[in-house]
Amino acid sequence: MRRRASVWAWVILVLGLLYFFIPLIATFEFSLRAIKGRYTFEAYRLAFMDPAFVRNFGYSLMWCVLTIIVSLALVVPAAYWVHLRLPRLRPVVEFVTLMPFVVPAVVLTFGLIRLYGSPPIVLIGSPVLLIAGYVVLSLPYMYRSVDTGLRAIDVRTLTEAALSLGAGWGTILLRVIFPNLRVALLSGIFLTFAIVMGEFTFASLLSWPAFGPYMEEIGAMRAYTPQALALVSFALTWGSIGIIQWLGRGAPGQGQIAGAR
Amino acid sequence: MTIDKRFSRRDFLKISAVTGAGALLAACGPQATPTAVMPDLTSGNSIPLDQLLEAAKSEGSLTTIALPHDWANYGEMIETYKSKYGLAVNELNPDAGSADELEAIRANKDSKGPQAPDVIDVGIAHTKTAMADGLVAPYRVSTWDTIPMKDPDGYWWAEYYGALVFEVIKPDIANTPQDWEDLLKPEYKGKVAMAGDVLKSNQSVQTVLAAGISRAGGLGDTVESAVEAAKAGLEFWAEMVSAGNFIPVIADQGKIAQGETPIVMEWDYLALANRDALAGNPELDIVVPASGVIAGPYAGGISAFAPHPYAARLWWEFVMSDEGQLLYLKGYAHPIRYTDMAARGVIPEEMAAKLPPAENYAKAVFATVDQLKETGTYITENWRKVVYGE
Amino acid sequence: MALERPIRTDPLPITQGDAQPARPPRGLSSWKNWIGLVPFFAFAIFFLFLPSFSIVYRSFESPQHTFTFDNIIAIFTERNLVNAYKASLTVSLITAAGGALFGFLLAYAVILGGLPRSLRTFMTTFSGVASNFAGVPLAFAFIATIGNAGLITRWLESAMGFDIHQTGFTIYNIWGLSIVYMYFQFPLMVLIMAPALDGLRREWREACENLGGTAFHYWRFIALPVLLPSLLGTAILLFGNAFGAYATAYAFSGSFINLVTILIGAQIQGDVLYNPGLGNALALGMVMIMGFCMAGYAWLQQRTARWIR
């Protein structure tokens, strides 16, 4: 039953759209002014032609892939086991996943550097700390996505069916659970992607090349191109999330959350 | 064929002994020795260029930190170093502040990985911390004697300096301000901004100090007189805030281009680089204030834990040479050896002409390390108290 | 797969309901149950808890690396620091309240307001992006809109002859910053409330109308009580989100607006101040405030799980 749309709903929607889109339009209008006197896409052309852009974007993509792999390897078994066997541990696990919200990134990074910068465990020469930092940041979103997905499918029956057919745990996880969590996993993956690509603090303090510090640097040193890039990355992220929505249409249980600072 | 089953213990011991001796001899024999003894690093004396070049080549690369390409022409400096000596350069974190650079050295003390910087470029006030914490190694480049500002034992030396100038968007401002007191005029309401954050950026602290020098009539020779100037600077900015002339936003090229910050105080090399980059879109006016001109030298050093100590020293030989110093000049920064080079006539006319006239810099004030440290602390501790009444 | 059972008061109807298996479930004593969790917890301990714990003990460190209570005392006594907490709390309250209110209205409009279905999808995907839009680009976008030379400012001046800056208006204060923060607060509210609003069964509305109730009765006695834990929980989440925001605040006005996160950044990084002990102490205060928020949020979320399936 579709109720007739109330006037108020339209009013609120329009107000919301105005609030969200006018700043984007202002940024877009500015990014078109790279050449004096007329509107042009020069800023966009320059943004993509910069070799540092490709280099840093490539590095960030690599960090994304590594983060996603580690994150999945940590979260999916944990969520699955909590769901299946240890529901009483759920509050503990959820507390862990809420902690990254509570601890500021700056302080966490310095803590990591102090702990793992000197013997006995020296992790500082390798990207381990960076990936660990990214995994920590994306933990809440990945866990929540997987958890939502697990709630929507009947984990117990699937597991028991697989076990009764003689599958080992590896097969169960990889060939039964993962495919059924397709949409939830995609949602977690895309959120992680958005977070890692835009992340600045960890990459900057740990001195690894990444897209976040690159955006920051050109933002400080150039005009027009940083704004163009910001809009492009906004559009790309929006497109990706649109793709998840489209892929997941009709699938049960998709609630995504995200948060920014 | 039967294998002799009587492979006795003695045979076994014999074979082991022979094998062991052979291995021992092989180990003691001549190995791939270094082609030459590596030059001495501890004395801090200058190393002859050919030896240095060979040693650096064996290291293969250099790790730098906090060198944005658009800052005093570091982009060209790094490229020239790479092509001239055939070494790779690993550039870390161009956004890093001076404290971040020192922190990077501290954090990587025990690691020789790609995160450990070899060379640093810090504000003068940080040299004290660097030396006190044992983070830098001494080295006197071949041009040592002509460097006017340095540590006598060779732990740091100034590389370049700039003066704090007003960067004004011509179309938006009818009357360009000429001095600090002009900035208080009502026509500049909501138009003046700093290029950094007072609590975080050396440049902004110097902005406050420069205003104070203008008001107090000078910096003086003692730390106490410098603090008096800092006090005057804070009062000036308190007036700017209450008059509503100060925009509490950090200006950058984007905000200048957009018109949000029509008047910005920045180092001249950054302002001139902005002017070039924006190429008239909008048009910028660069003004050296009539009074209160502060010079901001930056100091170079070598990490005491550098993974590539020879490449690091080679970098400094290059940067402090005439060629390197002229690259700074190309980026609108004043090389620290300017007077020496001018006296020997090695500065091309066109390059010198691109900077604001030399007379404007005659009044530039060079503070001592102690003065800078004390005024820096004073300003950051009292900024919110004096300016915002907290 | 719903089970026909009375609604239970404990928060996990699905797994509790399924606990009637053919064979007895393995107890916690079986070590095999823990394998899947070991990597997770090991990671959390090494890369989250241990470094975070450093906040606590480094709060007691002076710049000379000795033990001191000075940092903790300073938080309560130094006016500068107290004002920072006040300002942060104010911004967080404003944006939590405003974000919760308008965000809820927006969510209601697209989900239950009778608008075309495609608008709901549009709003949720857009919210997914907008809730992550922060830092320098967000700050710039608003400066370019209502700053001194912003689009709206200039339009007001040219089209209406109205120079808002003559009235002393400036966006560079707590209120301006709040307006900027709303950009990620509204979407966050929409995203989290959407499932909760979905959970409002239309049968309840119909039942209410059948019994002669009006929209007011529906909201007052049915919808709001059901939604309240979710609303409050999300508002608390918004509060914590705003309190911890750093990149946007710094990009917007540096340290010229005095906030806790900005102070932490200034003490731990940067060129001039360097008292990491104080930075950590400030962070400790922040962690405690955020900790309360997250605990409150988690508790309220558990209570709403009753209604959401």
Write the pLDDT tens digit of every residue in A54-85: 888 889 989 999 999 999 999 988 988 888 88
Yes or no: say if A142 and A71 are a contact pair by the CB < 8 Å rule.
Answer: yes
**pLDDT at position A223:** 86
The residue of C256, C261, C274, C275 whose CB has the most chain B CBs within 10 angstroms, and thus the best one to mutate to test that interface, is C256
Give domain limits for chain C.
Answer: 81-272+284-304
Which residues from chain A sit within 8 angstroms of residue C46, using beta carbons?
Answer: 132
Q: In whole angstroms, what is the distance from residue C95 CA to residue B215 CA? A: 42
Helix (H) or strand (E) holding C240: helix C224-243
Which residues from chain C sit within 8 angstroms of residue A103, using beta carbons?
Answer: 48, 52, 55, 283, 287
Cis peptide before B282 (omega within 30 of 0): yes
CATH of domain C81-272+284-304: 1.10.3720.10
Residue B37, class by beta-carbon neighbours within 10 Å (0-12 exposed, 13-18 middle, 19+ buried)?
A: exposed
Yes or no: say if B297 and B121 are a contact pair by the CB < 8 Å rule.
Answer: no
Instruction: Express the helix, strand and coil content of chain A in percent, nearest 5 each.
Output: 75, 0, 25
Yes or no: say if B292 and B215 are a contact pair by the CB < 8 Å rule.
Answer: yes
Q: How far is CA C230 from the centre of its chain?
A: 13
**pLDDT at position A217:** 81
Give the single-character DSSP code of B390. Answer: -
Span B26-33, average pLDDT: 44
pLDDT of residue B242 exceeding 80, the answer is yes
Structure tokens at B147: 């460097």
Q: Phi then psi for B44, rounded to 5 degrees?
A: 85, 5
Contacts of C27 (CB under 8 A, 6+ apart): none
Longest dimension (CA), chain C: 80
Which residues from chain C sit within 8 angstroms of residue A19, using beta carbons?
Answer: 182-183, 186
Which residues from chain C sit within 8 angstroms of residue A191, using beta carbons?
Answer: 128
Query: Percent of chain B, pLDDT > 90?
Result: 48
Better-scored residue on pLDDT, B320 or C74: B320
Which residues from chain B sit within 8 angstroms of residue C258, using beta carbons?
Answer: 384, 388, 390
ipTM, two decimals: 0.82
Span B159-185, average pLDDT: 92
Per-residue pLDDT of A148-183, as tens digits, reads: 888 777 788 888 888 899 888 888 878 888 888 877
User: Closest chain B residue to A117 measured between Cα atoms?
Assistant: B107
Structure tokens at A117: 């910068």
**pLDDT at position C166:** 64
Span A219-229, average pLDDT: 85
**pLDDT at position A250:** 54
Contact C271 B190 (CB under 8 A): no
Q: How far is CA C207 from the centre of its chain?
A: 35
**pLDDT at position C25:** 44
What confidence category does residue B240 fall into, taking pLDDT thresholds of 50, 70 and 90? Answer: very high
**B194 has a chain A CB within 8 A of its CB:** no
Q: Nearest to residue B63, comparing CAs of B95, B97, B93, B91?
A: B91
Per-residue pLDDT of C93-140, as tens digits, reads: 999 999 999 999 999 999 888 888 888 888 888 888 888 788 888 999
**pLDDT at position C67:** 86
Task: Pick A124's closest partner by Cβ from B92, B108, B254.
Answer: B108
Yes or no: say if C249 and C259 are a contact pair by the CB < 8 Å rule.
Answer: yes
pLDDT of residue A137 exceeding 80, the answer is yes
Better-scored residue on pLDDT, A118 or B146: B146
Better-scored residue on pLDDT, A243 or B131: B131
Contact C36 A81 (CB under 8 A): yes
What confidence category does residue B36 fall into, taking pLDDT thresholds of 50, 70 and 90? Answer: low
Length of chain B: 390
Query: Percent of chain B, pLDDT > 70?
Result: 91
Yes or no: say if C142 and A56 are a contact pair by the CB < 8 Å rule.
Answer: no
Task: Give every residue of chain C whose pLDDT is below 50, as ranges.
Answer: 1-28, 309
Give the three-state DSSP class for A118. coil
Better-scored residue on pLDDT, A92 or B28: A92
Better-scored residue on pLDDT, A78 or B35: A78
**A38 has a chain B CB within 8 A of its CB:** no
**A245 has a chain C CB within 8 A of its CB:** yes
What confidence category does residue B100 fall into, taking pLDDT thresholds of 50, 70 and 90? Answer: confident
Residue B125, class by beta-carbon neighbours within 10 Å (0-12 exposed, 13-18 middle, 19+ buried)?
A: buried
Q: Chains touching chain B at 3 or more Cβ pairs under 8 angstroms?
A: A, C
| Residue tagged 């933990």 (tokens) | A139
pLDDT of residue A121 exceeding 80, the answer is no
Q: Nearest to residue C131, comparing CAs of C95, C155, C165?
A: C95
Query: Which structural domains are found in chain B, ordered by start?
Result: 49-160+296-357 (3.40.190.10), 161-295+365-388 (3.40.190.10)
**pLDDT at position B176:** 92
Span B175-183, average pLDDT: 92
Number of Cβ within 10 Å of residue B148's Cβ equals: 14
Regarding the domain delimited by A13-247, which CATH topology (the fold level of the hierarchy) does it fall under? Answer: MetI-like fold (1.10.3720)
Contact C272 B259 (CB under 8 A): no
What is the pTM (predicted TM-score) of this model? 0.82
Q: In whole angstroms, what is the distance from residue B285 CA to residue B276 CA? A: 11
Span B42-62, average pLDDT: 89
Crossing angle of the two packed helices A225-247 and A7-31, in degrees rounded to 10: 140
B287-291, B353-357, C46-50, C153-157: range with lowest mean pLDDT: B353-357
* C273–chain B nearest CA distance, Å: 7
**pLDDT at position A257:** 43
**pLDDT at position B12:** 53
| Residue tagged 């291995």 (tokens) | B23
Structure tokens at B252: 């950058």
Q: Which amino acid is located at A249 in the chain?
A: R
| Residue tagged 């999808």 (tokens) | C121
Query: Percent of chain A, pLDDT > 70?
Result: 92
* C271–chain B nearest CA distance, Å: 5
pLDDT of residue B118 exceeding 90, the answer is yes
Give domain limits for chain A.
Answer: 13-247
**pLDDT at position B64:** 95
Assign residue A149 a region: left if phi > 0, alpha if psi is -120 to 50, beta otherwise? alpha
Crossing angle of the two packed helices C79-112 and C70-77, in degrees rounded to 10: 70
